[in-house]
Structure 1
C-alpha cells in the first residue's frame, strides 16, 4: 500500500462532503480478487439500461476471461464533480475514466502517494497488443508516458473514424433559390474553369447543366448544376464549398428564401472553443500549435493575439451587420457547439449549422412530429472546414490560404484515458490487464467497436434480452460481407464488417448500448474496413468532414505532461482568459473592431498573462522533444 501524504484542509473538506463513501476505503481492497470496480464517465440512456454491466460486450468479456466488472456512472453534468469527490475521499474504484479530468496526470500519481498506479511493468508483462500499437504509432502515442512511466491506459482509433457531425448546409435552398440570382450561368466545363482561374475576376459561382464525364462517379461533373465560386469537385461529381467566399455566396442565396431567419449562429461566447471558423483565418481559440515553416507543428501561439483573430472578428461583425449571423447568438448559453439554437435548426429556418449525422439529407423532416413548411424538400449536406481564401491572389492580399488545422475532429488519439488505482492492489491484475490487452487485438477491437456477432453469441451463455428486444439476436450485431454486401465466412479475402441495419439505422443509444464504445480498447478502422452501407449524402459528409487534420489542437496527453505546479499555473491563467474572452468577443462582433478597441483587447489579454501560458507550453514542447 502507498503511504499517504497529510491531507490538506480542502481535501479533508471534500472527504467529509463525500460522507458515505468512507475514508480511504479504496486502499488494500479485500474484495473478490477477480472483481474490479470501474467508474466510467459516459452512460447509456436509462431507458435502455441503468447498469453498463448489462452491456452484451461487457458480459462477453466477463465470461471469456472469468472476471467480474462492476460499473458506476455519474449523473449527466456531474462527471468532474463526481470524479474529484471520489479522488478526494480516498474511496475510489479500481479503474477510473479520465474523460473529464483536466489537471495534470502527475497530480494523480503524486510521486507514488496518489491514487494512480504506475502501469509500466504491467503493460510490459501482460499487454503485448497494446504495447505493439504504441510502438507502431509514435506520432500520436509519443506523450503516453509521463516522466518515463505509463500512468494511464489510453483509447486510440486504428484510423481516423467516421465523424459523428460537422458543418452542414441546405443544398436544396441553393438549387431552389440560387438560379433566380445573377450569379453566373455556364455552358461548358471549360467556361467554368476559366471563371475559376487564379486571374479571373468572374469568381462568382453559378449554375451549369450537369456535364457528362466518365471520370466522375455517376458519369457527371457538376451533377446537380451547382458551381461554387471557389468550390472543389469531388470524385462523386458534386461541387463543394471550399472557402468563406463560397459560404457567403450560399448566404446570399439563403436570404432570398422567406423561411430563412439567419444563415449561421455562434456559441454565446462568440467563438467555437474547438476552433471552427477561427481556423479558416489560421488561428486557434486559445493556445495551439502552429506550423514552424517545416511542416512540423512545434510553435506554440495564442490565437486571440494573432492578426488572423482580428480578421475573424471583422468577418463576424460583417456577417452580423448583414443579418447573416444570428442576431441573438449571445442567448445560446448552455448550447453544445453541435446543437446551437437547436429549435431554429429543427424548424428549418437556418441555412448552415454545425450538426450531427442524424440531421443530414431529409432526416430533420422525417423525424419531425409535425409538418413544417420550412423543412419541405430539405436536403442537408456536409461541408468541410472553410479556408479564408484560396490561391496565390488571395494569399497576396493577406488571406490565410493553408489548410485549417484547429477544429474538433475525432482522430486516432481520443480523450478517453483510464487510471488503475491502488484500490486494485492485491487483486488479480494479470487477469485484468490480459483482458484489457485483448481489446487491442483485431478480434477484440472488432467486438468492442461493433458488438457481438452470432459467433460470440453462441460461445457463452449471456443475458441476450437486450439484443432480443431490438431484434438483433437472430443475426447478431454484425457479420462479414463481400464487395457486394453478401454475407461470407470469416477469413474470406476482401471481406468487410457489415453492421446490422437495425443498429445502423437506429436512433438514440442503441449502438453504444450494444457495443463497447464507452469502454477501453482500440477503435476499429471503420472508414477503411467496414462495408459502406451509408446513403450517399452521409458518405459524402464523412468524406468532407475528414478532409483536414487537427494538427494544431493540443491533446490532453500533451498537457498532462505538466508538473503539478505548471498545471496549476496554466489552468488558473486559462480560466481568467476564458472568462474575459467570453465577455469581450461578443461585444467586438456586435460593435466592430477599431484600432483602438483591438489594441485594448490585446492589452487586456497580456495583462491577464496570456504570454506566460504560451511560454509554459513552448517550454513543455521543447522539453519533450
Structure 2
C-alpha cells in the first residue's frame, strides 16, 4: 500500500494538519519494545476471540498505521491486552496489583476506587504535559475547545492540584442503542387478554378523568414489516404468533393504558398490567411464578424503580439544587417499600426474592424464558425474542416483549404510612398540582425519576502507568490516542472497518462482513450492515472497538429498525439520570473524599440495608411510625470504622460544591 499522510478532521470541524500519523504498508517494520504496550481491560469479547488484540479494528491499526515517535521517526504501535480471569474475580485481581506493583502500561480504572487514589498511590502518570500539548494532541484539544464543559470534568483533584490523569471517552449523543438494560414486559398478554380501560386519566396533565368510548373492547395488533424491510398488510387481531418472514420487532397494536398512553407511565398503569396478567394466566391455565422480578436486597442501588417515588435515590444522589442527599431514610423510599409490601402481599413479587442473589438483571432468567414472569429488568428482549413453541414453554407461546420506562407513583395511598392504605385511587388533579409544585405529596409522588443507571456522554477512559510513561515512547502512544479523537479515528472505533479496510480481515470474513461494517448514506450518516445492526450474540461490540477511548459518533448512526423497536428503546431514556452519581462524578473526588465514601458505602448496604430492607417488603418489619423512625435513625447514624453515612454525604457535597459552585 502506498504510504500517505493522514490528515484528521475532528468532529468539531477543526482540521488537525499533522503528519504525526500515517497509513503504512504491510512491508513496514512492526512495533519495537518501546512502542509495544500492555493494556488492562475489565472485560473483552470472549465469545468471539480470547485476546482483544485480535479485535479487527485493533488489528487493522497495528498492521496498517504508524505514529510519530519522540525521535521524529514514524513507528508502528502494538498492544498486548490482559483481562480478569473471571468477572467475579475482577475486583480482587485488580486490588492485588496494588500489592504486587505489576501494572500494565494502559489501565482501565473501572475497578479502582478512583483515579485520584491510583495517582496518589504512585500508580498512574500525570498526563497534563501531554494533553495540554496542542501539537501532540491537536484533535483532543480541538474537541475540548468546542466542548469546554469537558475540560473541568477531565481534571482530577489531587494533592498536587488539578491534573489530567486519563484519556477519556466521549459520546457525541446518547443513543438508545447504548442503553444496556431496563424494564421489559409482556405486551402480548395485554393484547390477548386485556380490554380497553373504562376511562383515561393522566394526573400530571389532565384536570379530570375522561370516559373511554371504546371501554371494554378487546385490543388487537399485527406485525407490520417483513425481515427484508417490505411492509406487511396483515389484519389486526389478537394472534401474536410470529408469521413466517415477519420481523419480530415490528409488532404494533392499539393497547392503551389507563393513563391514556400507549406506553406505561405510572404505577397505576403497572398495577393494571399485573391485574391483566393475572387474568391471562388464569385463562391459559398456567400458574405464574410472580408478576415482577425484584433484586434480593429489595431495591437497586442505582435507584430505578424506587426513584419513581419522589424522584430521588436509595443511597447518595444529587438533588436538583446540586446538593447531596441520602435517600434510604426518606419518605420516598418509605413509600416505595409500602408499595412493594402491598405488591408482595398480592403475590406480584416472588415470595423468596431475598434468597436469589443473582445480579439484578439476571434474576430467574429461566422463568422469564418460559413465560411465567411477565415483567423484569434486564437486557432488551424486545419483540419475539422469547417466543417459543417448545414443550414446557407454553406460557411463552406468542410472546411479544415491549420495553418500559421507570413508572412514576401516582397513588397517594403509597405515601409510606400504612394507615392511609387506599391503593386503588390515583391522585386527583388538585393533589397532583400540589405535589408537582413542591407541596404536600411531593416527597413520594408525581416527581420525575432522576436516579437511573444510564449511559453517560463522558467517562474516564484509561490511565497510563508511571512505568510506561518512564520507559516507553509516550509520544507514539499519545498520538495513537489523539487519532481516536479525529473524525476518521472516531468512525473507525465506533463503526468498525469499511469495505477497503475489511479486505483480509479474518473475523470480518468469518462473519459475513466482507463489504465492511457499514455503508455511508447520502446525508453523511452511517448505517451498520444488517448483521451488526441486528446484533445477535452482541457481535457489534466484537467487530468495532468500543473498549478503547475516543469519541463515539453515535449521532452519525442511522438505524433501520422498525418504529416499535425504536420507541421501545427510547423508553429506557425517557427520563434523564440527573441525580445518579455515576462514572463522571466518581472521577472527580479527591483521594480523601474517596477514602471516606468507599469506607462506608459498601458497609452500610451489606451490614445494614441488605439485612433490614427486605423485611419491610415481606411484612417482617412494620412501616408504622415508631418502627420506621427506628430504622431511619439507625441508617442515618450508621458508621463503619469511625466513618459515618453523614461523613460520606459531606464528602460528596464537597465534590459537588467544587464542581457546581466554584
Q: 1:444 aligns with which of 483, 486, 489?
A: 489
Which residue of 2 is the match for residue 393 of structure 1?
431
Q: 1:479 aligns with which of 519, 522, 538?
A: 519
CA displacement at 1:325 relative to structure 2 = 1.4
Which residue of 2 is the match for residue 10 of structure 1?
none
Once the two structures are overlaid, the 10-residue window that deviates more, 414-423 or 87-96, is 414-423
Unaligned runs of 5+ in 1: 1-29, 212-217, 233-238, 293-297, 482-491
Matches within 5 A, 1:312-323: 312-323=336-347
Instruction: Tell me if structure 2 keeps the 8 A contact 1:263–1:351.
Output: yes
- Seen in structure 2, the aligned counterparts of structure 1 residues 326 and 508 have a Cα distance that, compared at 3 Å, is same
2:397 is the counterpart of 1:383: no
Structure-2 separation of matches of 1:251 and 1:131 = 52
Which residue of 1 is the match for residue 349 of structure 2?
325
Instruction: Tell me if structure 2 keeps the 8 A contact 1:204–1:228.
Output: no
Which residue of 1 is the match for residue 167 of structure 2?
153
- Seen in structure 2, the aligned counterparts of structure 1 residues 362 and 123 have a Cα distance that, compared at 3 Å, is same
Structure-1 separation of matches of 2:213 and 2:105 = 61
Instruction: Tell me if structure 2 keeps the 8 A contact 1:320–1:326.
Output: yes
Structure-1 separation of matches of 2:633 and 2:83 = 44
CA displacement at 1:136 relative to structure 2 = 3.4
2:266 is the counterpart of 1:243: yes
- Seen in structure 2, the aligned counterparts of structure 1 residues 209 and 325 have a Cα distance that, compared at 3 Å, is closer
CA displacement at 1:193 relative to structure 2 = 9.1
Structure-2 separation of matches of 1:500 and 1:426 = 42
Once the two structures are overlaid, the 10-residue window that deviates more, 320-329 or 506-515, is 506-515
Q: How many equivalent pairs are there? A: 548
Which residue of 2 is the match for residue 53 of structure 1?
53
Which residue of 1 is the match for residue 385 of structure 2?
363
- Seen in structure 2, the aligned counterparts of structure 1 residues 305 and 135 have a Cα distance that, compared at 3 Å, is farther
Q: 2:107 aligns with which of 96, 101, 104?
A: 96
Structure-2 separation of matches of 1:372 and 1:537 = 25
Which residue of 2 is the match for residue 136 of structure 1?
146
What's the TM-score once normalised by structure 2's chain length? Answer: 0.77
3-state SS of 2:536 partner: coil
CA displacement at 1:192 relative to structure 2 = 8.1
Structure-1 separation of matches of 2:524 and 2:517 = 16
CA displacement at 1:271 relative to structure 2 = 0.2
Structure-1 separation of matches of 2:203 and 2:320 = 33
- Seen in structure 2, the aligned counterparts of structure 1 residues 547 and 584 have a Cα distance that, compared at 3 Å, is same
CA displacement at 1:564 relative to structure 2 = 2.5
Which residue of 2 is the match for residue 22 of structure 1?
none
2:467 is the counterpart of 1:467: no
CA displacement at 1:404 relative to structure 2 = 1.0
2:653 is the counterpart of 1:618: yes
Q: CA RMSD, aligned part only? A: 3.1
Which residue of 1 is the match for residue 94 of structure 2?
83
Structure-2 separation of matches of 1:517 and 1:223 = 33
3-state SS of 1:364 partner: coil
Structure-1 separation of matches of 2:126 and 2:482 = 17
Which residue of 2 is the match for residue 124 of structure 1?
132
3-state SS of 2:551 partner: coil
Unaligned runs of 5+ in 2: 1-30, 67-75, 221-231, 233-250, 411-426, 435-439, 639-643
Which residue of 2 is the match for residue 7 of structure 1?
none
CA displacement at 1:132 relative to structure 2 = 3.1
Which residue of 2 is the match for residue 36 of structure 1?
37
CA displacement at 1:205 relative to structure 2 = 10
Instruction: Tell me if structure 2 keeps the 8 A contact 1:128–1:437.
Output: yes
Structure-2 separation of matches of 1:501 and 1:536 = 16
Structure-2 separation of matches of 1:537 and 1:257 = 23
Structure-1 separation of matches of 2:352 and 2:214 = 30
Which residue of 1 is the match for residue 421 of structure 2?
none
CA displacement at 1:226 relative to structure 2 = 2.2
3-state SS of 1:143 partner: helix
Structure-2 separation of matches of 1:430 and 1:617 = 36
CA displacement at 1:160 relative to structure 2 = 0.7
Structure-2 separation of matches of 1:204 and 1:342 = 39
Matches within 5 A, 1:151-550: 151-162=165-176, 163-179=179-195, 184-185=197-198, 197-200=206-209, 224-232=253-261, 239-258=262-281, 259=286, 260-281=288-309, 282-292=311-321, 298-333=322-357, 335-357=358-380, 359-365=381-387, 372-389=393-410, 393-396=431-434, 398=441, 399-414=444-459, 416-458=461-503, 464-473=505-514, 475-481=515-521, 492=522, 494-525=523-554, 528-550=555-577
Structure-2 separation of matches of 1:136 and 1:340 = 43
Structure-2 separation of matches of 1:452 and 1:370 = 43
- Seen in structure 2, the aligned counterparts of structure 1 residues 139 and 330 have a Cα distance that, compared at 3 Å, is farther
Structure-2 separation of matches of 1:583 and 1:545 = 30
Which residue of 1 is the match for residue 242 of structure 2?
none
CA displacement at 1:513 relative to structure 2 = 1.8
Structure-2 separation of matches of 1:408 and 1:195 = 24
Which residue of 1 is the match for residue 28 of structure 2?
none
Structure-2 separation of matches of 1:205 and 1:544 = 26
CA displacement at 1:531 relative to structure 2 = 2.2
CA displacement at 1:505 relative to structure 2 = 2.6
Which residue of 2 is the match for residue 3 of structure 1?
none
Instruction: Tell me if structure 2 keeps the 8 A contact 1:205–1:229.
Output: no
Structure-1 separation of matches of 2:216 and 2:406 = 23
CA displacement at 1:210 relative to structure 2 = 8.9
Instruction: Tell me if structure 2 keeps the 8 A contact 1:231–1:243.
Output: no
Once the two structures are overlaid, the 10-residue window that deviates more, 502-511 or 578-587, is 502-511
Question: What is the CA deviation profile of residues 337-357 of structure 1, one whole-angstrom value per residue up to 9, with x for unaligned ones?
Answer: 222221111111112111222
Structure-2 separation of matches of 1:434 and 1:404 = 41
CA displacement at 1:554 relative to structure 2 = 1.4
CA displacement at 1:170 relative to structure 2 = 0.9
2:585 is the counterpart of 1:558: yes
CA displacement at 1:38 relative to structure 2 = 0.7
- Seen in structure 2, the aligned counterparts of structure 1 residues 535 and 332 have a Cα distance that, compared at 3 Å, is farther
Which residue of 1 is the match for residue 236 of structure 2?
none
Once the two structures are overlaid, the 10-residue window that deviates more, 573-582 or 129-138, is 129-138
Question: What is the CA deviation profile of residues 295-350 of structure 1, one whole-angstrom value per residue up to 9, with x for unaligned ones?
Answer: xxx011001121111101101101101111122211220x2222222111111111
Structure-2 separation of matches of 1:202 and 1:572 = 55
Instruction: Tell me if structure 2 keeps the 8 A contact 1:195–1:203.
Output: no
- Seen in structure 2, the aligned counterparts of structure 1 residues 388 and 34 have a Cα distance that, compared at 3 Å, is same
- Seen in structure 2, the aligned counterparts of structure 1 residues 43 and 551 have a Cα distance that, compared at 3 Å, is same
